[in-house]
Amino acid sequence: MINTKNLEFYINEFCNYMLLEKNLSINTINSYKKDILQMKNYVLIKFENKINIKDILSKEIFDKYLIYLYDREYKPSTLARKLSSLKSFVLFLEDEKVLNANPIKYLKFPKLARKIPKTLDQDIIDSMLNNSKYLSLRNSTIIELIYATGIRASELINIKINDIDFNESTLRILGKGSKERIIPIHDLALNLISKYWKNEIHNHNKLVKTKKIKFNRELLFLNTYGKKLTRQGLWYIIKNISKKLGLDMNKVSPHILRHTFATHLLYNGVPIRHLQELLGHSNISTTQIYTHLSDQYIESEYSKYSPRVN
């Protein structure tokens, strides 16, 4: 029988699992642990005779604990996190064969208002695109390509030169769930990619001759060591570009560039279904959040440029 003394052991094992297997941050893991210990302490105080872990993690106890949480009037986001922590812990115990069944699979998360994604104003985008003289050719190409296509960071770092059809002006992307989509690319982006690639091949050939280094030249973008660019590396590049151009580094990221691409397209009249295909969303509801963003963007632009407002 597993008693409350052993429960502490499994909580620590769960935290190790989240650190080593899930690669979560220490702060996130501490939040998980705090949420689980809160329930454990609640049970020990409220139900002194419940010492079996299978009793502690029963549907009956969870129902009472859920009422307790609601009575404390936590914010929906806090409540959702606490339930998520408990669900993850129970799933871990199931996988470890400590529990034979999941006693809380019936739990429903509180509905949360979806966060409106952040975007960049057109003048900031123009600053990033029109100041290429301050940036390397690779970094200029990265900015141009993300804003031209709205691709995800994970998609950009996996682009191969053969994914680009210069004759048809398209880019082939293998997105989430290995779903393929074809994205059109405008001439400005294509010309910059072509210029960048020719420069890369020239530099690559020089390095091969002088240092006998062989890079993976299937991939479009590499880091300075000739290795595959990582998502962290891409994040650093975008932050460094922001710093060089005097922009707020906290307001610019690959994902914010993607959001900006989507918002600006909607603002210019692209149908929502077309945008869904470009972004690679499997569900239209994911794309529809940009309709709210587009409305905000229009209001912002109106406030800035309308002569009657100013």
CA–CA distance, 238 with 243 (Å, rounded to integer)? 9
CA–CA distance, 260 with 251 (Å, rounded to integer)? 12
Which amino acid belongs to residue 160? K
Burial degree of 215 (CB within 10 A; 0-12, 13-18, 19+):
middle
CA–CA distance, 310 with 308 (Å, rounded to integer)? 6
Burial degree of 209 (CB within 10 A; 0-12, 13-18, 19+):
exposed
**Token match 């029963």: residue?**
58
CA–CA distance, 87 with 95 (Å, rounded to integer)? 12
Give me 250's structure tokens: 């906290």
Residues ≥6 apart with Cβ < 8 Å to 69: 79, 82
CA–CA distance, 171 with 141 (Å, rounded to integer)? 14
Kindly state the DSSP code that residue 116 receives in the 8-state scheme.
P
Burial profile 22-56: b = 16 or more Cβ within 10 angstroms, e = fewer: eebeeeebebbbebbebbbebbeeeeeebbebeeb
CA–CA distance, 288 with 84 (Å, rounded to integer)? 25
Whether 303 and 309 have beta carbons less than 8 Å apart is answered as: yes
Active-site positions read 152, 176, 255, 258, 281, 290
Whether 100 and 57 have beta carbons less than 8 Å apart is answered as: no
